[in-house]
Amino acid sequence: MNRTATLKLPQYSSRDLALGVVRGADTVRKGLQYPALGIALLLALWWWGGTVIANNPDTMAFASFAPGPTLVAFWDMVSTGAVWSPIESSLQRVGLGLVWAIVIGVPLGVAIGYFLQLRQLTHVPFQFLRMISPLAWMPIAVLAFATWDAAIIFLIAIAAVWPITYATAHGVQRIDPMWFKVGRNLGAGPYHTLRHIILPAIAQDVFAGIRLAVGVAWIVLVPAEYLGVTSGLGYAINDARDTLEYDKLAAIVLVIGIIGYLLDAICVRLIKRSSYREE
């Protein structure tokens, strides 16, 4: 005699579905209310500052920094497509600089985190170099590289490499030594130790270092693009200042802030996804 098993799905009443929708909407509302309040306060402070500037005879020439003219210029730049070329140039430079910082910083961080003698040997020189402003390397970058783009990428890389290096080293130092002992007992060689123990354990720290590096690189980008390039967001700010287009200047600053926020949000997402610990 054949018996067939039937799969019984849970039955939900219309009341349960309505409660679920209400709870979901309430969760979304609670998650958005504080960010919305923060943005409103920022806009209010911006509006107040613009009003103060406009009402002061000594500063009224800079009244275009106010939210109204800035948002009009921002929409004009977006609708005409004038903003996309500077964004593309800047993101390309930041991306290449970060790639070099990751390629150098992650292996270096693993090495100084794993080998005590190397960490002791490099501590003083690396701390000395880390404390030098990236922009202080600008004359050397101009002399050492044949193009302005290469010099800017170098400045971004040298600014971003230290957060990645030290975050990676910190992650390696936090690994439980028992993991290495178990790996050796199971016959793991250097490659397997790196591939199956170190890299999964430090992924969250590496992405945290990259998040810090993105913030530093994005800050260094604007003054770095004051060099001889004729593209990018930094160049656009310098050009708007020279032509006294303060509404356009403020709009570019707004663009920089939006892109920086989005890049940081991507890094936060990567940090959460790379966590192997239960929250």
Query: Is 105's pLDDT higher than 90?
Result: yes
* 216, 157 contact by CB (below 8 A): no
Closest to 201 in 3D by CA, of 174, 177, 231: 174
Higher-confidence residue of 39 and 164: namely: 164
pLDDT of residue 27: 66
Tell me the C-alpha distance between 203 and 143, whole Å. 36
Mean pLDDT confidence for 34-53: 84
Q: Residue 269: CA atoms inside 13 Å, Cβ hemisphere, count? A: 6
Residue-wise pLDDT for 63-91, tens only, equals 777 888 888 888 988 888 888 988 999 99
Rounded to the nearest integer, the mean pLDDT of the chain is 83
CB count in 10 Å sphere of residue 264: 15
Query: Is 180's pLDDT higher than 60?
Result: yes
Higher-confidence residue of 200 and 21: namely: 200
What are the residue ranges spanned by the domains of the chain?
20-62, 79-273
Mean pLDDT confidence for 189-193: 80
Confidence label for 97 from pLDDT (cuts 50, 70 and 90): very high
- The topology under which CATH files domain 79-273 is MetI-like fold (1.10.3720)
Residue-wise pLDDT for 134-178, tens only, equals 888 888 888 888 888 899 999 999 999 999 999 999 988 888 888
Confidence label for 278 from pLDDT (cuts 50, 70 and 90): very low
pLDDT of residue 11: 57
Tell me the C-alpha distance between 198 and 32, whole Å. 37
Read off the pTM: 0.79
pLDDT of residue 1: 47
Tell me the C-alpha distance between 48 and 70, whole Å. 14
Residue-wise pLDDT for 240-277, tens only, equals 888 888 888 889 999 999 999 999 999 888 888 876 55
* 221, 75 contact by CB (below 8 A): no
Among 36-45, 101-110, 161-170, name the one with the lowest average pLDDT.
Answer: 36-45
The DSSP code sequence of 216-265 is HHHHHHHHHTTSS-S-SHHHHHHHHHHTT-HHHHHHHHHHHHHHHHHHHH
